[in-house]
Amino acid sequence: MRLPAPFLTALFWALAIAAPASAGDLSVMLATAQGKPLANAVVMVRPQGFAPRGPIRFPWPYRMAQRDMQFEPFVLIVPVGAEVAFPNLDPFKHHVYSFSAAHAFELKLYGREETRTVKFDKPGVIALGCNIHDDMTAFIRVVDTPFAIKSTARGEAVIRDIPAGPATLTIWYPFLKSKGAEVSRQVVVPATGALSLAIALDVRAPPLRRGGY
């Protein structure tokens, strides 16, 4: 059967609109300049011209616990607008605060099994401390892209299904020796398969931390 040309044109456009845009993966291996795997770095990708449809969601809990006189985890990624829980799992009180420009706040002394929540409306870095225990330290990175992940103990970060094309790759790590403790570079996300990068970063030695990193 032969279809008239205008019909075929309409069909082509219908298919073009319905077809999913091509997307690729990004696989990054992060290491220090000395070759040690870099854990707890936040890897973010912002595809050019991309705007998320609806709220960004991540599969991990938006939760910064206090356990054994330390924050857990050391680095937490949440999307803009997230409500983060701060449960105290210790049998004594903590007094959590942040002076960070992106969202300064204070959770006055609260005890065991108690939880407070804080909503983070702006992207940025939130450095956390405890008024009682100076050694307690952690960071929340509030992001405005759904393409964000934290590097593993092996220094690996994999982000899947990023729209193909030019994008900005940003890596943030609290002890990175660069402006704002982050570095950015332009990348091109492939239409299929993965872009694999090995990146060495100049970091300063992290301070001693109870419970390690």
Q: Which residues bind Cu ion (CB under 5 A)?
A: 94, 130, 132-133, 136
Are the CB atoms for 189 and 163 separated by under 8 Å? yes
Between 116 and 133, CB nearer to Cu ion? 133
In the complex, least distance from residue 83 CB atom to Cu ion, rounded to whole angstroms? 21
Are the CB atoms for 121 and 103 separated by under 8 Å? yes
Supply 181's token pair: 């403790």
In the complex, least distance from residue 91 CB atom to Cu ion, rounded to whole angstroms? 12
Between 89 and 199, CB nearer to Cu ion? 89
In the complex, least distance from residue 92 CB atom to Cu ion, rounded to whole angstroms? 8
Q: Which residues of 97-126 are buried (b: 16+ CB within 10 A; e: fewer)?
A: bbebebbebebeebeeeeeeebebeeebbb
The residues with which 55 forms a beta bridge, in sequence order, are: none
In the complex, least distance from residue 71 CB atom to Cu ion, rounded to whole angstroms? 9
From residue 37, alpha-carbon distances to 4, 146, 154, 179, 207 in Å are 61, 24, 5, 21, 17
In the complex, least distance from residue 211 CB atom to Cu ion, rounded to whole angstroms? 12
Between 131 and 152, CB nearer to Cu ion? 131
Residue sitting closest to Cu ion (CB): 130
Between 38 and 136, CB nearer to Cu ion? 136
3-state SS assignment for residue 16: helix
Burial (0-12, 13-18, 19+ Cβ within 10 Å), 164: middle
Between 46 and 133, CB nearer to Cu ion? 133
